[in-house]
């Protein structure tokens, strides 16, 4: 049982390049989330998807877009990367809102030069 998987594990981009971070869960969870973690900070919510077919902005959505491809997959896209987006990105899922804990993926470390 893989849980929540993320690809890639590490990526280096140049300013202005685009990329998509992939996330998949095999736990049949309804809700999925994207967070970023900066040094000295806790995790901050970028976007979330309460259920398949819905997405909403979190605390820090600027510069990002998301797609809930199906129930399993939730991708995060950087259209034009900026150095301020250098961070560690975590994907998480939960069975349903208010139920249990959020399960986190291993994270993607992104460096924008």
Instruction: Tell me which of 48, 64, 74, 89 binds other proteins, using CB under 8 A.
Output: 48
Q: CA 77, 110, 26, 61 torsion: positive or negative?
A: negative
The span of 15-23, 65-73, 79-87, 102-110 binding other proteins (CB under 8 A) equals: 102-110
x/- letters, 52..91, toward other proteins (CB under 8 A)? ----x-x-----------------------------x-x-
Coil, strand or helix at 30:
coil
Instruction: Tell me which of 17, 44, 52, 86 binds other proteins, using CB under 8 A.
Output: 44
Contact (Cβ atoms closer than 8 angstroms) between residue 71 and residue 85: no
CA distances from 4 to 16, 28, 64, 66 (A): 29, 11, 21, 17
Contact (Cβ atoms closer than 8 angstroms) between residue 91 and residue 47: no
Least distance to other proteins, CB of residue 38, Å? 10
Does residue 107 bind other proteins (CB under 8 A)?
A: yes
């Amino acid at each position: 049982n893989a849980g929540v998987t993320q690809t890639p594990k590490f990526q280096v981009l140049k300013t202005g390049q685009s990329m998509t971070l992939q996330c998949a869960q095999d736990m049949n969870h309804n809700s999925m989330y994207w967070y970023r973690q900066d040094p000295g900070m806790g995790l901050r919510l970028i976007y979330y998807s309460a259920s398949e077919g819905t997405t909403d902005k979190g605390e820090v959505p600027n510069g990002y877009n998301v797609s809930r491809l199906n129930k399993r997959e939730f991708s995060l896209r950087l259209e034009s990367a900026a150095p301020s987006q250098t961070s560690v990105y975590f994907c998480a899922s939960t069975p349903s809102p208010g139920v249990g804990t959020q399960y986190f993926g291993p994270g993607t470390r992104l460096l924008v030069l």
